[in-house]
Structure 1
Amino acid sequence: GQDRFWFLWDELAQGSLGAVVLADTRRLEDCFAAVDYFERRRIPFTVAVNSFEGAERFPTETVQAALDLDPEVPVLVCDARDRSSVRDVLVAVVEHALERAARAREPVAT
C-alpha cells in the first residue's frame, strides 16, 4: 500500500481472486486507501492485523469497526513473519472469495 506503488495497483488487481490488507494497529489510518480501493472494485479482501512486539493488540471487532468494514470482511490476527500464520490468512481470503462468488451465483428470490 505504499504510495510509490499506486500506479501498479490496477495491473496487479486485474483478474485477482482476492487481496489481503496487512494492518499495523499503530498506523491503522494507512489502511483506508487500500480498503477503499478493493471495495470500489468489488475485489474480495481480508484484513490481516499484524501482531508483533510493541504493537498494541485490539479485538478484531474493534479493528473492523475502526476501518468501517462490512461485517462480511474477515479480520484476522497474524504474524507476517510466521509461515503458518500467513498461510491461514491466504486460506481465509480464498474462502471469502469463494463464498462471495457462490452468493453472486444464487438466484434472486421472486
Structure 2
Amino acid sequence: MQSNTTNLVGFKKNESDSSITMLVLSCFAYSTLLSVIFGYWSNINSFKRGLFAGSIIGVLVAIMTDSYLYSTSHFYNSLMPLLVDVFAAGLTVGMLGGVIGWIFGLKK
C-alpha cells in the first residue's frame, strides 16, 4: 500500500511527536457528530440502525475527504488507497454508529 501514496518528508509524525490528545479530540468530534444526527434528527436507537447510518456517513465523509486529497495533491498515487480508506471508514464508523445507536436504545 505504501507504493500507492507519496512519502512526503516531514508529513507523517513519528510516534513521539504524535498527539494522543488531538487523536482523542478527533474521535470525540466524530462521535458527537453521529450522536447529534442520531439523537436529534433521526431517532436512531438500535445497533442495527446505527450501524447502517454510521456506515453511510463514514463512507460519505471518506469519499469527500479522500477525493479532495486525490484531486488537489500528490498524496495518493492511485485510487486503491482511496477505495481501501472508504471501505475502512464504512466499517469503523459503522461500528461507532452501531454502538451509539445501541446506547441510545438503552435509554428507552
Q: Name the structure with the higher helix share.
A: 2
Q: Which has the larger radius of gyration?
A: 2
Q: Decide: shared fold, TM above 0.5.
A: no
Q: Name the structure with the higher strand share.
A: 1
TM-score interval, normalised by the smaller of the two chains: 0.3 to 0.5
TM-score (norm 2): 0.33
**Which protein has greater RCO, CA pairs closer than 8 Å, 6+ apart?**
2
